Copies of this chain bind each other. A is one copy, B any other.
Amino acid sequence: MSQLELRDIRKTYAGAHDETLKGINIDISSGEFLTLVGPSGCGKSTLMNSIAGLETITGGSIVVNGKDISAMEPKDRDIAMVFQSYALYPTMSVRENIAFGLKIRGMPKEEIRQEVERVADLLQISPLLDKKPSRLSGGQQQRVAMGRALARRPKIYLFDEPLSNLDAKLRVEMRTEIKKLHQRLKTTIVYVTHDQIEAMTLADRIAVLKGGELQQLGTPKEVYDTPENLFVASFMGSPSMSFIGVTVERSEAGLSVTVEGNDGRELVLPAPEYLESWVGKRVVLGIRPEHISQPDEQKRDNGMVTEGRFTVEVTEPTGPDVLAVIRLNDIDVQCRLDAEHPVEWGEEAELMFDMRKVVFFDPESEKRIRP
């Protein structure tokens, strides 16, 4: 239940020639759930370590509830963290691992016991309490690591990819537990993940990092629907958004862009009015798979929806949906089709383009063109 401000955090590792964090500014309000995403090596763990006080920052300051804690020892910061690499104490049993932090802080024995059991129940690791970490599977270890953090009631929780090693089913369950936990405790949480769904579903806000720089900070919906730039757009969403170079044209019906299929057939797509100043210029059209689907009655009467026939190059049934690839302007474009109306690869299919949510980018600056 603490408000956390990161003010221009900079970090250069001793001996490294590049700055790893290049001035990160994030205000996290009390009780907020922030997820941190970004490609491998972008500095997510570094930022987490810096907040916890495990790495000294080389610039900026970390402020909790108005108090600068940048120079404080980690143990005085009252932060709990789940490490990407679990970092379980190998010589201690699961129980001792979870209890260690409580013991050091002088909690009475009986309370510790209760707390450990509560946490173990929550994480479904009660039968493992007396085992050594080395005898646990990766997923079990990860839950113990989480238990160690959850046993405490710190001001702030830091989770560094806490679910990455769980199998799909358990992962969904744990995700739900974390969500419930947050709703109950309302503790401030910073959460690193490389899982799209996790990032989208858990977060109040998402911070997208790249190369030590903050690319975008916003609610999941903002980040997904209105990415600031090409990088964010391509990073969020799986399969990712497809990018097609097009020229903005003006016709009687309004602005439009034209795409050309594999067989040379052209399709004119309606474009939003805010591209007015781009008429005649090249822009990048960003379109997500779910924006290209099989014709749907309900959407058809919208001015921003068009249909066209294209040859499907690849189809991939995923279970609930079928992912298909078509080529537009010589670029592979992903579409998401309904699993109930299967299309074989090589066939032609009637596809509906929903242009209401597509985004456009300036090809030079790679920034999104704002309405």
Name A residues whose Cβ lies closer than 8 Å to a Cβ of B: 39-41, 137-139, 167-169, 171-172, 176, 179-180, 194-197, 200-202, 220-221, 224, 234-240, 288-290, 296-298, 314, 316-320, 323, 325, 332, 334, 336, 339
| Interchain CA distance A289-B41 in the complex, whole Å | 35
> Judging by beta carbons under 8 Å apart, are B235 and A176 in contact?
no
> Judging by beta carbons under 8 Å apart, are A235 and B169 in contact?
yes
5 cross-chain pairs, A with B, having the tightest CB-CB distances, nearest first: A201-B316, A290-B320, A168-B238, A224-B319, A200-B318
> Judging by beta carbons under 8 Å apart, are A196 and B220 in contact?
no
What is the copy number of this chain in the assembly?
2
| Interchain CA distance A168-B238 in the complex, whole Å | 7
| Interchain CA distance A201-B172 in the complex, whole Å | 21
The listed residue (B167, B200, B288) touching A40 by CB distance below 8 A is B167
| Interchain CA distance A226-B120 in the complex, whole Å | 35
Among A172, A197, A289, A323, the one with the most B-chain Cβ atoms within 10 Å of its Cβ is: A197
* Selected A-B contacts with CB under 8 Å, 23 pairs: A39-B167, A40-B138, A40-B139, A41-B137, A167-B194, A168-B194, A168-B195, A168-B196, A171-B238, A176-B332, A197-B318, A200-B316, A200-B317, A200-B319, A201-B317, A224-B319, A236-B319, A237-B319, A288-B320, A289-B320, A290-B320, A296-B298, A297-B298
Residue of B nearest to A239 (CB): B172
* Cβ–Cβ < 8 Å partners of A139 in chain B: 40
Residue of B nearest to A197 (CB): B318
> Judging by beta carbons under 8 Å apart, are A220 and B317 in contact?
yes
Q: Closest CB-CB distance, A298 to chain B, in whole Å?
A: 6
* Cβ–Cβ < 8 Å partners of A220 in chain B: 317, 319
Among A39, A180, A334, the one with the most B-chain Cβ atoms within 10 Å of its Cβ is: A39
